[in-house]
Amino acid sequence: MALTLATQAPDEPELFASIQGEGPSAGMPVAFVRLSRCNLACTWCDTAYTWRFEGDNRPHRDGIAFERKANQLVLDEADVAERIAALGQSRLVVTGGEPLLQGAALARLLDLLPDMSVEIETNGTVAPPVALDVRVDQYNVSPKLAHSGNDAGLALVPERMDAWATDARAFLKFVIAEPADVDEVLALQARYRFPSSRTFLMAEGTDSASLRARQQWLSALCLEHGFRLSDRLHIHLYGDTRGT
């Protein structure tokens, strides 16, 4: 059995130890594994190399089509587990792409890592299989707003939004580019009743200057509506680079 991973260099899986940069676990030392493939296509996605391969015409603001062979790697689950264990961390963050597209394989991977606590970063559209769900300590759910370029019918699945809203392990994180995006978050909150205490607003941006500029007005909106503000610590520390 195997997992399809993103790469940080050709034939080198994007699997590394770092500081969690976003959401409720920001600042924690963790092991990261980044999986390949996604069912959505955000126009501002900063990991488009996980899904926008040559022949994929889904829109992206950079317009880059990545070579699949150089950016995607299939590894045996036992091999992946061994590499994760070698990083020496007690907490694992599984990110993507959309990790839950490989939910069954992830469940088998975590069976090989029984002592690790687990976070999964997801766009919120895919239900985790039960065998995986019982191993997950935290879901970092990032529903995609209209400015992502995704159709709401694909990006905001009602039964999944209901499920995340009622799961105490799920923290919702919305990427915000303009103040009007917060109005969309408020409309979603009115419909699905997710608590502000589990809701993060995070400025869109892949450089410190852009993040800081947007946080100036975003922090005030968080204060006004009771939401939590998420930074992107890894951008400030390492820039927009793979394996960080």
Dist CA 176 CA 204 (whole Å): 6
Phi, psi torsion values for 102, nearest 5 degrees: -115, 40
Give me the mean pLDDT over the 136-157 stretch.
98
pLDDT at position 104: 98
Q: What is the mean pLDDT of residues 123-129?
A: 98
Q: How confident is the model at residue 202 (pLDDT cuts 50, 70, 90)?
A: very high
**Per-residue confidence band for 1, with pLDDT thresholds at 50, 70 and 90:** confident
Total-model pTM: 0.97
Give CA separation, 146 vs 71, 78, 86, in Å. Answer: 28, 39, 40
Bridge partner residues of 66 (DSSP): 53
Rounded CA-CA distance 143/134 in Å is 22
Helix (H) or strand (E) holding 79: helix 77-86
Domains, the chain:
2-174 (3.20.20)
Q: What is the pLDDT of residues 34-67, one digit of tens each?
A: 999 999 999 999 999 999 999 999 999 999 999 9
pLDDT in tens, 159-199: 999 999 999 999 999 999 999 999 999 999 999 999 999 99
